[in-house]
Amino acid sequence: MKLFNLLSNPFTQYIILIFLCLFITSTTSQFTYFNYTESISGKYANSNFYVLNIRTYGDGTSLVHVARNISTSAKTSNFNCSGLNLEPILRLRVIKLNGSVVEINSQDNLNFDPVNFCIINNTLGKIMNPITIYPLREQFILVNYIVAINSSDPTTYEEWGQVIDWNGNSLRCV
């Protein structure tokens, strides 16, 4: 009997399917739980934290972008945010595999335009975050952001990037 004829037999297919299901259900997965408490000090201590983005390095280390929502009536500059107004600090958390957390809080050394701290819905209804993070290699992060020539005119927005390290130091502007 040829192998092809054997595999086309419904009884043989049924036996292969049972073995495959047994193999899948016999594998075990290991869940690891992680608990971390954010510092609540600062000007907006009563504001809620939001996780805006989570990325992963090749070794499994996580890079998390968190931000605090500030009141829509609070203005951080002369920019009028029509969406979710965020505290003007880039807050990144590097969660290592051993459970330790590296906090990166860059407020002054990156000089982002206020438009980067406003989460809005675009014309298609999709939520848009002007800041996007990308893990590069261990110790390095690419941060994409908006530079606005005129903050009230979206056609003047340019997308820029900076490479920073885990200490929050800007290494290169791209």
Q: What is the pLDDT of residues 97-139, one digit of tens each?
A: 888 999 998 876 678 888 888 887 777 778 888 999 999 988 9
Closest to 62 (Cα-Cα) out of 104, 107, 90, 117: 104
Classify residue 125: in a domain, yes or no.
yes
Question: Is 119 part of any domain?
Answer: yes
Residue 73 lies in a domain: yes
Instruction: Mean pLDDT check: name the lowest of 17-26, 65-74, 124-133.
Output: 17-26
Of 18-32, 35-49, 63-77, 116-130, minimum mean pLDDT range: 18-32
Residue 135 within a domain: yes
Task: Please indicate, yes or no, if residue 12 is contained in any of the structural domains.
Answer: no
Question: Sheet holding 84-85: strands in order across?
Answer: 84-85, 118-121, 127-128
Instruction: Band the pLDDT of 4: cuts 50, 70, 90.
Output: low
Which residues are bridge partners to 144 per DSSP?
A: 132, 161
Tell me, yes or no, whether 42 lies in a domain: no
Q: How many domains does the chain have?
A: 1
C-alpha 15: how far from chain center? 44
Rg (CA), the chain: 24
Decide if 30 is inside a domain: no
